[in-house]
Amino acid sequence: MSVSEDFKKRYGSKEYKKRLEDARKKMNEKKSGRRDAFEYRFPKADKDKTYQLRLRVLPELTAGEPCEGGVAKEGMDNWYYQHGYHWVEGLGKVECPRIHDNEQCEICQIGFDLLNETDDEEHKKTIKRKYLATQFGAVNAYFLDTDKNPEEVRGKTLWISFGKTIMDKLHECLSRDDAGDKDDPHAFGLFFDVTQGHTLLVEVKKKGEYNNYDQSKLLQKGSPLAKDKDGEADWEKIKEILDHRHDIPAKFAKRSKERVKEAIKRLTKGSSKKSSDSEWEEDETKPDKDEESKEERPETTKPAKPAKEEKEKPEPEAEAEAEPEADDDNDEELQALLADMEGDE
């Protein structure tokens, strides 16, 4: 058997240093890739410290338009991108094909079927928590360059996910044709318009264990996204802001049938006392005394099975996905949302 020089070069010690550098670089990319630097996430509000954000929701970025880091590949067909995931112990986030892509989701379907079989409200809650995905609307937003905004976001275009409370308010504005009550006028119409849209004032309070967004509102007076000295639309500045939008759909893991299957396997297996936040399988496999395989395969050729339920919590990584911040949303909010989704089916 002859081995080519190329082969030896590729795998030999001369290339060792380069390969090590590559591997380290990729390792770090993977680690940092878990958080997108341009995604704004609501910090938890303190009990006595409500905070506010002033931002403008931006129109949808469509495929081919310039955006942060280049040109949008995926783009959006609406001003928000609907997304949601199932949280599965030991597996982490499983993006929901129903919410993202309007396709059948076998996990949600199990939930809907179980919900049909019971009238017990507590049981329904448990089913929803376990099997239904939490839904969000993600938008590009310009955080106004004002000292009323936290310094780190002032004048930036970031993307942000809203839960039901804020999404309802935005939809309500969009469907309104006039300001309504003269004594208490409301914003109405195309709030994300760049020439006469409305500032969204997000107010975040602590309610129970969760963030609450009830007091948020669109300011009534419309204005250009950026103004020149005469108060007219500053088109150059507006273009600059829009050119920093983000290709939101590309930020999410592609929905995967295998992952959905794996999630179902875990969800329906019965609850295990131990769990792991790690997305990696633990490989300290105990000798497998499993039911099935013994008689079917001789022990000697049996491949090592990955450990299943019997595993210790291994991941020391600080950024291992913890229970996602998504749950910052008010619990009642979540329940209402889930109820909505149920209605949609």
Report 117-136 residues binding Zn ion (CB under 5 A): 133
Question: How many other β-carbons are positioned within 10 Å of the β-carbon of residue 59?
Answer: 18
The reply on whether position 218 binds Zn ion by CB under 5 A is: no
Picking from 121, 25, 91, the residue whose alpha carbon sits closest to that of residue 324 is 91
Q: Which of 83, 98, 198, 246 binds Zn ion (CB under 5 A)?
A: 98
Q: Whose Cβ is closer to Zn ion: residue 87's or residue 159's?
A: 87
H or E element that contains 332: helix 331-344
Is 51 or 112 the residue whose CB approaches Zn ion more closely? 112
Look up residue 149 and give its two tokens.
């905004």
The distance of closest approach from Cβ of residue 98 to Zn ion in the complex, given in angstroms and rounded to an integer, is 5
* Residue 87: CB minimum distance to Zn ion, A: 11
116 vs 146, beta carbon nearer Zn ion = 116
- Angle 233-234-238 from CA coordinates, rounded to 5°: 100
Q: Least Å distance between CB 135 and Zn ion?
A: 10
Quick note: the x/- pattern for Zn ion over 2-41, rule CB under 5 A, is ----------------------------------------
Closer residue to Zn ion, CB minimum distance, 107 or 170:
107
- At 160, is the secondary structure helix, strand, or coil? strand
Q: Which residues, listed in sequence order, are joined to residue 95 by a DSSP beta bridge? A: 85
Closest to Zn ion by CB, 88 vs 141, is: 88
Instruction: Give the separation between CA 45 and CA 202, rounded to whole angstroms.
Output: 12
Candidates 45, 55, 58, 105: give the one binding Zn ion (CB under 5 A).
105
**What element of type H or E holds 134?**
strand 134-143
Please, what is the minimum distance in Å from the beta carbon of residue 254 to Zn ion?
Answer: 15
Contact positions with Zn ion (CB under 5 A) in 223-242: none
Binds Zn ion by CB under 5 A, chosen from 107, 242, 267, 338: 107
- Asked whether 205 and 212 are in contact (CB, 8 A), the reply is yes
Among residues 190, 184, 194, the alpha carbon closest in space to that of 171 is found at 190
Residue 131 is which amino acid?
Answer: Y
Give the binding site for Zn ion (CB under 5 A).
Answer: 96, 98, 105, 107-108, 133
